[in-house]
A and B are shown apart, each in its own frame.
Chain A
Amino acid sequence: MGPWFDYTVNGLVVGNIYALLAVGLALIFGVANLINFAHGSVFTVGAYLGWTALHYLHTPLPVTILLVAAGSAVVGVAIERFALRPLNHRSRIAPLLATIGVSLVLDQAVQLIFSPDPRALPSQLPDWRLPIGGVTIGALDLLIAGVGLTSAALLFGFLRFSKLGWAVRATAQDPDAASQMGVDTNRINAVVFAIASALGGVGGLLVGMFYNSIDTTMSFDATLKGMVAMLLGGLGNVPGAIAGGLILGLAESYGIALFGTSYRNLFAFALLILILMVAPNGLFSRRRELPPEPMTGTFVAPSRPLRLPRPALAAIVVVAALFPLVWNQPYVLQTLTNALLMALLAFSLTLVSGTVGQISLGHAGLLAIGGYASGLLALDHGWPFVASVPAAGLSTAILGTLMVLPALRMTGHYVAIATLGVGEIVSLVILNWTGLTRGPMGLSGIPIPAIGPIELDTPRALYWVVLVLVVLLGLLQVRLLSSHLGRTWRAIREDEVAARAYGVEPLRYKAMAFAFGGFGAGIAGAIAAHLYSYINHETFNTQLSILAITVVILGGLGNVLGAVLGAVLLVALPEIFRAAAEYRMLIYGIALLLLIRYRPQGLLGTI
């Protein structure tokens, strides 16, 4: 048997792991209509619970699995009870942010308790390996596959044939109707989180044993791969999730076989986007159907935005401009400059995700395009800062919009994960296109920002330049929002079907928003590149995209001033908590959760 057989076996073995993750995510999505970003963290928690049980109690494997399942289920119920239930019916998007906050808190807590050092988690299974073709599979591989398939089968049976399962399905279809029929939807949600989290935790335990290594950085990768697998199978489709996981595993394995290891993720994400273009609802969902007409509620919760009178706005700008004259403290100015650069990115994202309602989880990719465009123009072609930055803005507008077009054809949560994929693709193309981007070596020696002969080498000068850009681009965006584009974009967000019935071409207007936003984000990326002097494919990563969406939700969707406020808060908070050292990201996570809890529509409200 040839190597292709080996690649297939390997792909299936890894695909099992993705499937296990995807099943839990699909279950939660199916019922709560929520992408649970904390799922990967529960996976990590499960691995560490298992380590604790093994290390201190020397439990045999079945007992360890039971303990981990129970412990993870408790974590899941706690997430539902304390982070999500209080948000019920407030806004569709606040729960997403809450799960991001929970994942931050869980990861940090694990890191503090167990130290960030990786730990060995020895497998308790016999060490035999079964040769198949040119490769081998072991007892753990079979156990992981068994757990995945059994749990999917059990879940399927539970949902189909038990009374509780019937209630779960009813809740998934229409929570309001279900609760009118006497279904305790809170209890159902708790049950679902318990089951999904138990699965996630056991997954973490088994995968940790599989590699004999667990650490706190597993969470994000687990969430990412699990989401992709779930999306391939069709959001919320439990059996589809298993197939999606296997397909993802095979895609990666074949990607390695065809192009080499460094193309693994690029191949997988490109395939994801391709599949979604052909089958926009995943591979295993039924054919196109009109979504049921909404009885109530739309994308965003009703909100009364806080509007500042013009003189107050002008006063804020004046204070911000004069501030460095009074307090020329480089550390504070650098922090504020970072916050303002974040605000430029947030403008773009609050337009796309807030005003037009297309959640983008790959927005940092736009910064990367802008940063590389300006950096390469300056380094390879000697362009001055004042020319390379606007050129970077334009290139980002064009390239970014073209890349994201397939994602914009999709709806709802598919857009979110597809844009996440696009963001990863940008970073992976930069990594692999060594001829243009210098690959992993990154761009070093990018000249410092300069306007003509004046080098902006003080924090104060750069602060002013970025402040001017924030004010200009902010005003421009506000002006656009007051034009016919503002109401057209918001109409798409509120109800795309109704908007289309009145002649609005959604793709055209989404693309326009993306292009305008891309211009600003490209400029922000370009300035950051010149400020840092060195960038590589990891400088603008998905974590930054997630931070940006947090800024946008915190400030208030579509709210330009809110974007600035959110950026200043989220960039400044970790600085303020700096003295807390290792504890600061934990405190930050808790602060974030409290903010969402008490202000789900954002600080300044949705516009």
Chain B
Amino acid sequence: MSFSRRSFLAASLAAGCTALTAVRSRAEEPILVGVSGPLTGPNAQYGAQWKAGFDLALDQINAAGGRPFQYVFEDSQSDPRQSVTIAQKFVNDPRILAELGDFSSPASMAASPIYNRGKLLQLGITNSHPDYTKSGDYTWSNCLSQDDEQPSLANFVIEGLGRKKVAVLHLNTDWGVACRDRFVESAKAAGATIVATEGFQSGERDFRSTLVRIRDAGPDAIVIEAYYADAAVIVRQVHELGLKQVIAGVVSIYSPKFIELAGDDAEGTYTQGYFFPGEQRSEVQAFVTAFRAKYGQDPDWFNATAYDGLIFISRIVNQFGASREAIHEGIAKIKDLPSAVFGKATFDPTSRRVSAPHFVRLVVKDGKFAAWDGQKPKAI
């Protein structure tokens, strides 16, 4: 809607870095990718993480030459009411060739039918809801469903760390519940007992009473299925309560912010990553080096998966052509995409997700994530 854009161009200029002004300053008509995600509202922090990943990807894509690439980030606040209007806007803007997002399941999945009817590829970069890619042939995701990740985490905790009685503390959302269910399944299959599962709501910060409940269930490991900010608050309170159990967490706690927020209490927390800055795979190293150079800090999973999303689209465009249909066709066919998260990624046309990658086992040591040395922690 040009009327609104023009009248608020001044505001955009004040914002300085919106994608839009950048679009206008280019002479050659760029390839546009739409992004629907939270820039304001309760999930704004994740939108900001995405942006850092996108901007790095953009630098690299455009430095390589060829037709310029650009993204249009529309703020949905992760609200389905807004994500559906954004979907209509993108679908009906012929310059937009693919879409990334949204963040939360209600916002993403409300928009999916519109993308599918409009035949515009919707690539979910953080969507792990098991039903997300079932919306239709145009909804894909480079985020693993928990079917891959949780068995690996369970294996780490039970075989690797040698724990037998596990308590699971999970975010009570579609994502957290999917994590919990897959983990419990795999852990039981591996012979462990689940002594407690506790679901908390996002925004909760007090876990003392929950931890008393967990303590009294007598676990030898506590598994956290939550994002980094919540996980940091949890590990602090675990230690404040004087609990000595082994703590392990899902991939999404792997973030420098986790260590900053948890402080000394982060020490000894186990997790796994598809990617890890200390890792030697060249795709990962290239990403980590570039990210540090641009932002002066280590990337986390949200940065990396966003970076991947945009890079994937550019690779598909290079190989299959710059049209919506070509991108839709290409995503099913393209092999071994370079990925900051997975090293190499290939989409499975049936599940419309990337196929199983490998995981790196990590532990926080001396205030840093380090590869796990295979040492089992002492029994408590």
Contacts and interface: CB of A to CB of B under 8 A. Distances in A.
- A and B touching (C-beta < 8 Å)? yes
Interface of A: 3, 6-7, 10-11, 13-14, 108, 111, 115-118, 120, 122, 129, 131, 134-136, 138, 211-213, 215-217, 220-221, 252-253, 256-257, 260-262, 264-265, 329-335, 338, 431, 439-442, 444-445, 448, 457, 459, 528, 531-536, 538-539, 571, 574-585, 587
Contacts of B15: 580-583
Interface stretch (B196-204, B336-344, B352-360, B362-370): B196-204
A577 B8 contact: yes
Contact of B4 (A257, A535, A579): A579
Contacts of B44: 111, 116, 216, 582
B157 interface: no
Contacts of A13: 208
A552 B82 CA distance: 20
Contacts of A575: 4, 82, 85
A580 B261 contact: no
Contacts of B233: 211-213
B8 A580 contact: yes
Q: Which 3 A-B pairs have the closest CB atoms?
A: A532-B110, A534-B109, A116-B44
B1 A215 contact: no
B215 interface: yes
Interface in B1-57: 1, 4-5, 7-9, 11-12, 14-15, 18, 20, 39-42, 44-45, 47-49
Contact of A136 (B14, B40, B240): B240
Interface string B158-201: 00000000000100111011100000000000000000001111
A199 B63 CA distance: 52
Contacts of A217: 42, 203
Given A262-B172, A334-B84, A579-B11, A135 B208 contact: yes
B106 A532 contact: yes
Interface in B306-333: none
Best-buried of B7, B81, B106, B200 by chain A (most CB within 10 Å): B81
B117 interface: yes
B11 A583 contact: yes
Contacts of A117: 45, 48-49, 257
Given A440-B172, A581-B73, A262 B48 contact: no
B105 interface: yes
Nearest to A221: B203
B40 A582 contact: yes
A571 B84 CA distance: 13
B213 A261 contact: yes
A216 B87 CA distance: 27
A213 B240 CA distance: 15
Contact of A213 (B1, B204, B232): B232
Contact of B105 (A14, A120, A265, A534): A534
A135 B241 contact: yes
B209 A108 contact: no
A607 B346 CA distance: 62
B188 to A, nearest CB: 19
Contacts of A578: 4, 8, 74-75
Interface string B218-250: 000000000001001100100011100000000
Given A118-B229, A216-B44, A221-B203, A583 B174 contact: no
A129 B199 CA distance: 27
B80 A135 contact: no
Contact of B5 (A111, A331, A579): A579
Contact of A332 (B1, B77, B91): B1
A138 B201 CA distance: 25
A581 B12 contact: yes
A7 B210 CA distance: 9
B252 to A, nearest CB: 14
Given A338-B81, A459-B88, A215 B8 contact: no
23 contacts: A6-B212, A116-B47, A135-B241, A136-B240, A252-B209, A261-B172, A329-B92, A440-B176, A441-B177, A442-B105, A442-B174, A534-B80, A534-B106, A536-B106, A539-B80, A575-B82, A577-B4, A579-B4, A579-B7, A579-B12, A580-B14, A582-B44, A585-B40
B89 A431 contact: no
Nearest to B93: A331
A562 B296 CA distance: 51
Contacts of B236: 211-212
Contact of B104 (A338, A531, A538): A538
B75 A134 contact: no
Contacts of A536: 105-106, 173-174
Contacts of B263: 120, 122, 212
Contact of A440 (B117, B177, B209): B177
A581 B4 CA distance: 12
A118 B240 contact: no
A607 to B, nearest CB: 27
B206 interface: yes
Contact of B241 (A11, A136, A445, A584): A136
Contacts of A260: 198-199, 213
B232 A531 contact: no
A463 to B, nearest CB: 11
A324 B205 CA distance: 48
A256 B129 CA distance: 27
Contacts of A581: 12, 15, 18, 39, 73, 75
B205 A134 contact: no
B268 interface: no
A116 B45 contact: yes
B134 interface: yes
B82 to A, nearest CB: 7
Given A7-B212, A575-B4, A338 B106 contact: no
Interface string B98-136: 000000111001101100010000000000010100110
A444 B172 contact: no
